[in-house]
Amino acid sequence: MPVKWYDGRVVEINQLTPFTKQFFVKLEGHDVFDFLPGQFVTMDLPVSEKRLFRWRSYSIANHPAGDNMLEFCIAHAEQGLGTKYLFEEVSKGTILRLKGPDGGFVLSDAQDREIIMICTGTGVAPFRSMIRHFIFNNLPFKRIHLIFGTRNIDGLLYYEEFRNIVDAKANFIYDVALSREEKHGFYHGYVHDIYRTLYQDFNPKRHFYICGWSNMIDEAVANLIVEMGYDISQVHYELYG
């Protein structure tokens, strides 16, 4: 079956942090773009003749709403051809070529399991899609704990949005770890410090979802499986970079 490519028009761009932008892309055409919370798309960016450099994958940060609007939360990568193009050349009205959705890092049911989401930086994007899916569709969930890590306070993504969900849902927990800054109300350190402290007691109904750079994922997987005794079936992860 041939791969289907879509044309998407950039309709809005926002600066979320000094190094992160939010892109809203409206897919053109009449077919509904169906995706599962947590999936990603692959963009074919005009930055090289080689597919290896042209194709870049980004998680969808919004929930499926049937409106063909996709939101992306993208951090600028030094010497990255893809983000250089997106940050310096793309503007409102630019057409982006993309295919998908792809990926098995999804969560659509959390009624009978406790979910701990661990992420750093733009690794929060698939989790935001999952969380919004539950909230906007008023779906039941047992307990979701989002643990977000960044260096400084100016690296926070969707902070007020998640705080509002905390106020509305007693079974949604949200913690932030700042690794290079001390601020009242935030953990000082790394995401690993939080889950290692709170989830030492093994629970077969507890599942961990992890998204970020390889070093963070490797450390988290080793901590959870080797040190804390969780089964590999309880640990799910998606690599960024």
Q: How confident is the model at residue 239 (pLDDT cuts 50, 70, 90)?
A: confident
Residues with Cβ within 8 Å of 67's Cβ and at least 6 positions away in sequence, in order, are none
For 135-180, how does the pLDDT look when each residue is reduced to its tens digit (9 = 90+)? 999 999 999 999 999 999 999 999 999 999 999 999 999 999 999 9
Task: Say what the pLDDT of residue 52 is.
Answer: 85
Per-residue pLDDT at 31: 83
Q: What does the pLDDT look like over 29-59, one tens digit per residue?
A: 878 899 999 999 999 999 999 988 899 999 9
Give the 3-state DSSP-derived string for the chain, with helices as H, strands as E and coil as C: CCCCEEEEEEEEEEEEECCEEEEEEEECCCCCCCCCCCCEEEEECCCCCCHHHHEEEEECCCCCCCCCEEEEEEECCCCCHHHHHHHHCCCCCCEEEEEEEECCCCCCCEEEEEEEEEEEHHHHHHHHHHHHHHHHCCCCEEEEEEEEEECCHHHCCCHHHHHHHHHHCCCEEEEEEECCCCCCCCEECCHHHHHHHHCCCCCCCEEEEEEECHHHHHHHHHHHHHHCCCCHHHEEEEECC
pLDDT at residue 79 tops 80:
no
pLDDT score of 152: 97
Is 92 within 8 Å of 12 (Cβ atoms)? yes
User: What is the pTM for the complete model shown?
Assistant: 0.96
105-129 pLDDT, tens digit each: 999 789 999 999 999 999 999 999 9
Looking at the domain covering 110-239, what would its CATH class be?
alpha beta
In this structure, the strands spanning 110-120 and 55-59 are: unpaired
Tell the CATH superfamily of the 5-102 domain.
Translation factors (2.40.30.10)
The residue ranges of every structural domain in the chain are: 5-102, 110-239
pLDDT of residue 1: 67
Distances (CA, A) of 53 to 74, 82, 189: 17, 8, 35
